[in-house]
Structure 1
């Protein structure tokens, strides 16, 4: 059975110009139907249907007159929508103000409890339970956010995904909304259904914006606002990523620097047992490696497989990362827990002459034996890796 979809009267607050014809037809049909009914109750519904139509058209004077004549501001149409829904759909703020001041229920939901954002341009809003404040924050309408909060909107109201408006303002790059929501008591550590805080969601949604662009500056401002408010920098989401893991994965250099400077745990392991340093190696980013080491990263910390960062760099063929690790104090001859392989053994097994050269240049022992008594040259000769053989022999390798 398909779950019901959530809807709130201000869910239409941001959207403009969609389904105008549909609501015109609905309103017209409601009027026609009501005109055929003579009872007092149906006369009241007729008046309310007129109010729906006036609200959908943004007719302020008509709304005032209908309310003065006794129209019910919370009357629901056949879809459960009040006049406030229709005014909000078109963004008629003056009409919305009149309706609210006349007693319209800002928490009224329609029959389906769904948002209008189930159309193609807004697939991410098909999640259920968005309130007006969610949508205003999502679209970055700071004045609407302020207005809704002044009228009593709950800044920590969660949608079906557990997101509060702050999540949406942060992920969609709206620093003014982020700052205002924080000032009004938004919980910067609120976790959504993916166990992500607004900070984690903002970082996860980063798509390589230039930090010199207007959007880049705005995004970083959101990040700084959340961090300055004391958000948990070491919170692991459902996938096991802390903000620093996410920033490295997104190649968000400015955010990486800010997180390190604000004492994020640089040795924190994700659910796969990877530290930020190991992720930086995976990303082949020597600058992150250097920054993490300066921030206190343990360059010799082994992963769950018993391999140190230098082993990982050798395995992945990242010679520049090898150089950065050695410069940062990595033990060039550290053996893995499995088979006792040193980074040089691993580089030879990958037949990567650049990594072999970087390790030898960094002081690797070319004759170090693994648990089976084999030197790197033994491994190279067994596999007939001629280039590696030549480099090892020229540097005193024995096999």
Structure 2
């Protein structure tokens, strides 16, 4: 479809932009049509990039909505909501010729979803056929929708109408006041109570940037047209006869006037019932500005987030990080911003716990639950012996630049995230702790294609010990066992004074003590020289003073730590550059065989990497685990460091670590799409290389559901999509075993073979239905079962053979581990015989349509739906079924969704209903159903 400025768009079939859009489903606006079949898009998140709209035969974008540019079908009435002269794309039923649907009714599954439809892009066109909605993928749109938090954006022209730069307002709804277009103006309420309207695509202008995204309507992704400027001449933006003035007169009046909320995408939230939801538990204990951390594991997070819009891979990566409460929704959900992210993520407050604001000298008790403390301390790391501190009272003696604290217990000290600490008032005594400070076994020693948890213990040793030593010097806490090799010298009290002065940054005292006793300047005290400590703490004046007094710039302490290494581990980039300027050795290694390039890569210091390499440091050096600096940068998602290392002329991207992962495989393991893209651009020749002869990068990406990596490997790297690895498993088998819908879809869309058999004769479809599901009776298990049913339907629609038997002689229905899954698949095959293909091999099973009247056999679906509580059968709903249909007795729908369907999905009987009106809300279903 021809591009116009103002169209609302999202990522398309040839997308290569990683998460520049904010993730799949996030919306943007076409703001400029460029030469060479390219367009400029401003994403709701505030990012702005150029994309292909036909250049090189590629289409990076799909069109989400054409109403903002004035596409309108005069004389057409929506059969679902009675909207007159439908705005945007019109959907025409190929079975019921009198049925036309507006965009909202189409995606909310009005009319029969098993009927085929035509998408009519513009008035007068014949329309293009699309797949049936019953077998199509549905995704939720995200961005500037009612409820989103926004601030002024790229085209803001309204002075301080918002209350001033940086002020955040809330989107109240869409304003349908532009006479020749729709859904391109939104109403925003600012903190002072003032409400005005702003452009979101009107004449190609975007006045707002999203600070906290909101979930909008769903959409059928493959039903949307690609954005193109190659067919004919690109049309100009819609020119409205109403001008936009700087004081928002005319269409920017600030009135509520929008009118047809039922016909705009603004209505999706109220339609879903979100606005009436009961407040979530824990909401009242969260205040704006509170520091919080996710205190549940991945499984529990996914389960709790089912009540709050779902859980993304980005949200999972936030476990262990400290965020800040940025907003609160009416239903109690809270918006949390992590690190420097421009977006706020919406969480169920039950997933979060507040992080206390601590200061040096505070008494705290470490939380007693071992597993929870390990989870909360994930970013800091874990060492054997820390468990002895659980439930004990200690004193905060040091706080580092990341906010992590050293807690001393009289005879020992450990570093914790403040989330692990409970402030204790009125206590001045320590609880003693014991235990070794030896490292726990590193997760990186395990060999797996599944992402393991990242532990930073090895990199934190020096940092942790210096923090504890500084605490001991400044606060007089006894710290036995911190030393290792220690040089005993006369006048030990003087070295203690020198260390204390270095920790305080007192250059004058440092100079005086060193002049009095020249031997102090290079003394190794508790494993460290004074210069190592000064560099780690970023005391540049003290560093300069010590060097002037004869300190060895390359003098190493315990475990081979050097001043340069200490500066890098302490994240003091200016000190590191200063030392290199003064002649520090760029190739010195510590006891773990890490050189300064490793440390700079781990701490994301690209400029230091550049200087180190220029001075002769080895960018391909391996540490004791076989990791190169590039492995370390990828591990930490340090994309600036990745980019710099890949610019190094002789960088070795084929190098593998002791686990066998080369850097491309490691990037796929960690889901670092930026690294995958850059590595493939440098050299795609290793894309099909196998880890230990078992798994390619594509296997690894599919196993971990890193969809962007999957797409990049295929499209940029020309990976072999159906290459068989260990036990003849293809990447599609791996995605099916793990239950990853998005990866499955990406693979089959890019040509993955759906009927290839592994060494047990299992096809991907067998893997979908035979996998074990954790806690099938809980919401997360129920959700996974629904996902597996959808995966099976997708595979069947792509030509998977249901009658193909494995080596145990089982076809797909025979291999089903859970009867509910098998019954849904059987029903799907009965209802969609035109898409089902058979292998036709002797001895394989066939599928019948059941007995007369469309009923099911004894022990089949009838028994299932009477004995089990299952999720609602509506594709977009996550609620549990609570409506029993009469007279058939099946229980497939929740109360809200029952009104949207005309027949029972199990027996195909027509639902006869009488709808009573209470005001303008459809209420009881009367004789059609009863509430259980």
TM-score of the two chains, using structure 2 as the length reference: 0.33
Instruction: Please say if 1:323 is aligned against 2:745.
Output: yes
Larger CA deviation: 55-64 vs 264-273: 55-64
**In the aligned structure 2, how far is the partner of 1:77 from the partner of 1:383?**
69
Q: Residue 32 of structure 1 aligns with which residue?
A: none
Deviations 1:343-395 (A, max 9, x none): 23333435833222111211223433444655435546996832222334443
Q: How does 1:1-399 map to 2 (within 5 A)?
A: 18-21=471-474, 52=498, 56=502, 58-60=506-508, 63=511, 67=515, 71=518, 76=523, 92-108=539-555, 113-114=557-558, 128-206=559-637, 219-229=638-648, 230-264=650-684, 265-271=686-692, 273-294=694-715, 295-338=717-760, 340-350=761-771, 352-371=788-807, 374-379=810-815, 385-393=822-830, 394=833, 395=836, 398-399=845-846
CA separation in 2, counterparts of 1:129 and 1:62?
Answer: 24
Deviation string for 1:164-208 (max 9, x for gaps)?
A: 1111111112222222222222211111111111110121123xx
Write the distance in 2 (CA, Å) between the matches of 1:354 and 1:189: 45
Distance 1:379 1:89 in 2: 60
Q: 2-side partners of 1:50 and 1:346: how far apart? A: 65
- Tell me the distance in 2 between the aligned counterparts of 1:53 and 1:343: 63
Structure 2 distance, partners of 1:396, 1:88, is 69
Structure 1 pair 383/190, CA: closer, same or farther in 2 (3 Å)? same
Q: Which residue of 1 aligns with 2:450?
A: none
Q: CA deviation at 1:140?
A: 3.6
Structure 1 pair 273–21 and aligned structure 2 pair: CA distance change class (3 A): same
What corresponds to 1:34 in structure 2? none
Contact 1:11 1:85 in 2 (8 A): no
Higher helix share: 1
How far apart, CA to CA, are the structure 2 residues paired with 1:251 and 1:49?
Answer: 48
The more displaced of 167-176 and 137-146 is 137-146
Task: State TM-score, norm by structure 1.
Answer: 0.70
* Aligned residues of 2:514 and 2:520 also touching (Cα < 8 A): no
Give unmatched runs, 5+ long, in structure 1: 5-9, 26-41, 115-127, 207-218
Gaps of 5+ in 2: 1-435, 439-461, 479-489, 772-784, 839-844, 847-932
> Against the structure 1 CA distance between its residues 378 and 169, is the aligned structure 2 distance closer, same or farther, given a 3 Å change threshold?
closer
- Corresponding residue for residue 7 of structure 2: none
RMSD: 4.3
Q: Whole-Å Cα distance in 2 between the matches of residues 373 and 54 of structure 1? A: 76
Compute the displacement of 1:329 (Å): 1.8
1:204 touches 1:250 (CA, 8 Å); kept in 2? yes
Displacement of 1:327 in angstroms is 2.2
Kindly indicate which of the two structures has a greater share of residues assigned to strand: 2
**1:144 and 1:361, CA in 2 relative to 1: closer, same or farther beyond 3 A?**
same
Change (3 A) 1:55 1:360: closer
Greater relative contact order structure (CA < 8 Å, 6+ sep): 1
Tell me the secondary structure at the aligned position of residue 188 of structure 1. coil
